[in-house]
Amino acid sequence: MTDVLFTDVRVLDPGADLDLPHAELLVRDGRIADLGSGLGRPDGAAIVAGAGAVLCPGLVDMRATLGEPGGEHRETVASAAAAASFGGVTTVAALPDGVPAIDDPALVRLLRARGEETGAITVVPYGAATRGCRGEELCEYGLLREAGAAGFTDGARAIGPARLMRLALTYARGFGARIIQHPEEPTLAAGGAATQGELATRLGLPTIPAAAEALMVARDIRLVELTGGAVHFAHVSTAEALALIRAAKARGLAVTCDTAPPYFDLNETAIGDWRTFAKLSPPLRGEADRQGVAAALGDGTIDAIASDHRPCDADDKRLPFAEAAAGGTGLATLLAVTLAQVHGAGLPLPRAIELLTAAPARLLGIEAGTLRKGAPADLCLFSPERAWQVAAGALPGRAPNTPFDGRALEGRVVGTWKAGWRVFGG
């Protein structure tokens, strides 16, 4: 493998406390060999002139639906890898709630192998928390963990029964694993399509009260206290739930959370006149909640930003709003929408990159999200000021259903490398 030398780049790795302007980084045999200044020019090395662009670890996305197995008409691991590379993502944690659900160790191994076949991403599968993700009976966590499951979740379905969640937290604790919860009280959310409020009422849509999220968060925090287990709340979207999480962390409980770009960049008005591309789960919230999520990115309450990539096809979205599938693609826009918080809301760039790299890698317990010497050369090179506009259907991947259609953004990936191989740009 040819050496690669990056020159005139801002080397940024908050997890390793690195922020080096106009620096160099050398890749050899697929790993980071050296970084700093004055590295020289190794014979035969490929030179990548950064022109001041930011070189950071490849992004680690801790929540995405990859379509396989069972949903290949919406997405495949290969098509997701193309979207991920476009967005600077090199590691993807795959949700298990497809058909069939990832409740068998052989399926965990299959997804890991499919990721390796792409040469562009590492796939880190979650195991199903319950058989078939149906919320009735726990899976064999030990066997799933041994096969490489990063944690246990029912994906976009909440683990509803309190007794079952208590057992899941206790069981997962024995294997040093987290339960990843979709925080939405299912009986309150059943049949809903939009956040309860004036807009949903005007549009005649069935609603989900924002309190459905906080109720589930409060219950599960209490169950963490009871069991000594660890819970991770996915795509948190309300200020009330974040306040509960903040207080739980202050008490030293094993409680973590992530959010996704729609919940700090958009509010409920994005659904417009029944715009199904903006129908998500949880639904987009009011402006006060959006501001609360944005503030929690910087104060340490939110532990990671995930893409929440959930591709849909035309048959899923070309329906009346209440009947359309919830979900949006997110791998290709993950970095750029996060950078909007840097440009317009004062989120420090190192904090933004930490939330996309080292922090999710720590939560997943994997070797990723770092530029330390000897680490795999999974790299993202991006221009923070480069402007572009999102267009549904023009992004890589099989599905066009982005909630950010038409959004003007600053910050674009110009190159992505996986284990030293360039997989995007050039």
For the annotated catalytic residues, the residue numbers are: 308
| SS3 labels along 163-222 | HHHHHHHHHHHCCCCCEEECCCCHHHHCCCCEECCHHHHHHCCCEECCHHHHHHHHHHHH
First to last CA, the chain: 17
Nearest to residue 261, comparing CAs of 340, 321, 194?
A: 340
d(CA 155, CA 146): 20
Hey, which residues does 55 pair with through a beta bridge?
11, 381
d(CA 279, CA 16): 38
d(CA 131, CA 113): 22
Q: How far is CA 183 from the centre of its chain?
A: 16
Instruction: Check: CB of residue 85 under 8 Å from CB of residue 421.
Output: no
Sign (positive/negative) of CA torsion 124, 235, 412, 405? positive
What phi and psi, each to the nearest 5 degrees, are found at residue 366? -125, 160
Residue 38, amino acid: G
Instruction: Name the DSSP class of 45.
Output: P
Task: Provide CB contacts within 8 A for 113, sequence distance 6+.
Answer: none
| Number of Cβ within a 10 Å radius of residue 245 | 26
Residues making up the chain, counted from first to last: 426
Q: What is the enclosing helix (H) or strand (E) of 247?
A: helix 239-250
Q: What is the enclosing helix (H) or strand (E) of 232?
A: strand 231-233
Any idea of the CA torsion for 393, 394, 399, 401, to the nearest 10 degrees?
-60
The helix, strand and coil proportions of the chain, stated in percent and rounded to the nearest 5, come to: 35, 25, 40
d(CA 128, CA 66): 15
